[in-house]
């Protein structure tokens, strides 16, 4: 089954809005794992507006599944990753002032830099994934860097899903097929949710991991965190006939 990695940034956003330690980000990560998530993702940014570098350091000893740190590989990020040694690092070309990730790498133009970074991280035993748009031609360059995986940026798929899901998923299928030919693992993330996730998992070959944060945390406000994680896990189990929104416990009189 495709692995669910929960991005816990939004817990930190809520904590930082008020100060103090509520919600407790470390407890949130532990609860996500306890409720069935098979990974924890964080995306620290230079302004530390949500996950802080100190959170990342404290999570290292807490996460018992897979720890994935993603972000723009500026020097401070590189130092953080090499200090923590997570299971996976996902390199994302965030602009400093970006509200959220909004594009994949142009690997061809950045191949020398990315090759150096991948070599640095992999030499410490860290799996490396490169965040890319669904462009099959970009995969060859990803393979040339020595990366282990790509992460498909799924915002375009989510945006187009309701209008034409076949058209929306087509470039992702094509890109994943090329990745498999080059021996690269395939991850995906950004705007995946309970409505569009199952179709994506059914159609995209070789999908190993999805990283989901914003939509999952929003759903948990209404459904509760445990029910929400279980709902997403059911969407990742291809063949389940009943939509998870209808699988919640029914109150008894």
Residues involved in catalysis: 43, 70, 190
Q: Tokens 């972000």 correspond to what residue?
A: 71
Alpha helices (H) in the chain, listed in sequence order: 9-18, 25-34, 53-60, 75-84, 111-122, 136-145, 155-160, 165-181, 197-203, 214-223, 225-236
As a residue count, the chain comes to 253
- Give CA 144 to chain center in angstroms: 23
Q: Tokens 């669910």 correspond to what residue?
A: 4
Burial class (CB in 10 A: 0-12, 13-18, 19+), 241: exposed
The set of residues, in sequence order, having a beta carbon less than 8 Å from that of 52 and lying 6+ positions away, is 12, 44
Q: What are phi and psi of 144, to 5 degrees?
A: -65, -25
Q: At what angle do helices 9-18 and 214-223 cross, to 10 degrees?
A: 70
């Amino acid at each position: 089954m495709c692995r669910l990695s929960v991005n816990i940034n939004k817990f930190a956003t809520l904590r930082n809005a008020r100060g103090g330690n509520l919600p407790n980000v470390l407890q949130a990560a532990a609860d996500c794992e306890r409720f069935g998530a098979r990974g924890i993702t964080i995306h620290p940014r230079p302004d530390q507006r949500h996950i802080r570098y100190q959170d990342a350091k404290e999570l290292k000893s807490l996460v018992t599944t897979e720890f994935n740190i993603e972000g723009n590989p500026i020097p401070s990020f590189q130092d953080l990753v090499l200090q923590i040694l997570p299971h996976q690092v996902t390199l994302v070309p965030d602009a400093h002032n970006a509200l959220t990730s909004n594009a994949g790498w142009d690997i061809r133009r950045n191949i020398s830099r990315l090759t150096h970074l991948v070599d640095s991280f992999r030499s410490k035993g860290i799996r490396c994934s490169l965040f890319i748009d669904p462009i099959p031609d970009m995969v060859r360059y990803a393979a040339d860097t020595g990366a282990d995986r790509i992460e498909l940026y799924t915002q375009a798929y989510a945006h187009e899903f309701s209008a034409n899901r076949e058209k929306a998923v087509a470039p992702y299928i094509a890109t994943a097929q090329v990745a498999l030919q080059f021996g690269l693992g395939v991850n995906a993330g950004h705007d995946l949710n309970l409505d569009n996730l199952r179709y994506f998992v059914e159609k995209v070959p070789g999908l190993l991991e999805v990283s989901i944060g914003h939509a999952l945390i929003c759903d948990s406000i209404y459904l509760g965190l445990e029910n929400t994680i279980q709902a997403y896990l059911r969407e990742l189990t291809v063949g389940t006939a009943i939509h998870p929104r209808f699988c919640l416990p029914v109150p008894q009189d």
